[in-house]
Amino acid sequence: MFVYAHRGASALAPENTLIAFRKAIDLGTKGIELDVQLSRDGVVMVMHDDTLDRTTNGKGRLEKFSLEELKKLDSGVWFNKSFCDEKIPTLEDVIKILPENIKLNIEFKPDKKNTVKIAQEVYKILEKYKNFNNIIISSFYHQSLLEYRKLDENIPMGMLFEYDIVNMFEYIKNTGINPVSINISSEYVDEKLVEEAHLNNLKVAVYTVNSYDIAMNLKKIGVDEIFSNYPDIIS
C-alpha cells in the first residue's frame, strides 16, 4: 500500500512547509501530498486553509495578500518555536527540493472565483518542470479538475469525496474527468466500496490515516493508497 506524507511529515513539522517535506523525504517516503491556492497576484502558494490565522502569524484570507506580503509571514512558530521563520512556500519552491522519484499529489484549494485560474497557473508550472513528471492532481472541487483536464488529457487525477455519495461511479463517469483514483475519508471506506472502485478501474486512496492498526485494516480490504501525517506509519 502506497503512503503519501499528508502536507509533508505534518505530525513532526509545520504542515505544508519545506521542512515538513524534507522530513518526509528523510523518513523514506515515496509520496508527498500538498495543498495549493492562489495569492492575490496569482502565485501558486502551498497552504491548506483559505485563511492565514491557524498556521501563520498573519490574519485574513490568503487570496487578499501578494506573494511579497505572504513571504514576510512566519509559518512555523505556531507549531513549535524551533520552527521560527519557516515561510509559506510556493509550489515552485517545493518542486525544486523534491527528488524526481517522489510522487507528488497536488490538491487544488480554489476560491469559487478562481477554479479556472488555479488550473491554468498550476499547468504553467508543471509545463516548466516537465522533468518532474510523477504527479497527480486532486481536489474536492471537481470543476477545477475538469478545467485542468482541458489543458492536459493525460495527467493522473484523484477525485476527492468527503463521503460515499449515491451513484458515485456513475457520477464519476459523467464528469469527463477520467480520474485514476477516488480519494475518500477512512470512515466511509469498506470492502464493498473498494471492490466496486476496482471494478471501475479506480484506485482507492484514503485520508487521513494516523493509526497503524487502521492502516493495516485498510490494506487488508484492498485500499491502494493512504495519506498520513506519519509517513513512516507502515514502513
Collapsed DSSP state (helix, strand, coil) of residue 89 = coil
Beta-carbon contacts of residue 85 (< 8 Å; ≥ 6 apart): 74, 76, 77
pTM over 0.95: yes
Q: Does the annotation mark 48 as catalytic? A: yes
Task: Single out the catalytic residue among 4, 6, 33, 225.
Answer: 6
Q: How far apart are CA 58 and CA 80, in angstroms?
A: 16
| DSSP letter assigned to residue 84 | T
Q: How far apart are CA 140 and CA 185, in angstroms?
A: 12
Beta-carbon contacts of residue 172 (< 8 Å; ≥ 6 apart): 159, 179, 182, 200, 202
- Fold exhibited by the domain 2-228: TIM Barrel (3.20.20)
Q: Which of 183, 165, 58 is nearest to 108 (CA)?
A: 183
Q: Which of 197, 185, 145 is nearest to 161 (CA)?
A: 185
Beta-carbon contacts of residue 185 (< 8 Å; ≥ 6 apart): 161, 162, 163, 206, 207
Q: Does the annotation mark 142 as catalytic? A: no
Q: How confident is the model over 187-215, as a mean pLDDT?
A: 97
Q: Give residue-wise pLDDT tens across range 124-142.
A: 999 999 888 899 999 999 9
Whether the per-residue pLDDT at 208 is higher than 70: the answer is: yes
Q: How far apart are CA 30 and CA 132, in angstroms?
A: 14
Which contiguous run of DSSP H or E holds residue 70? helix 67-70
Task: Single out the catalytic residue among 30, 40, 48, 61.
Answer: 48
Which amino acid, residue 121? E
Q: Give residue-wise pLDDT tens across range 149-190.
A: 999 999 999 999 998 889 999 999 999 999 999 999 999 999
Whether the per-residue pLDDT at 235 is higher than 80: the answer is: no
Tell me the backbone φ, ψ of residue 44, rounded to 5 degrees: -80, 110
Query: Which residue spans within 116-217 are E strands per DSSP?
Result: 135-139, 157-161, 181-185, 203-207
Query: Which residue spans within 53-179 are E strands per DSSP?
Result: 103-108, 135-139, 157-161
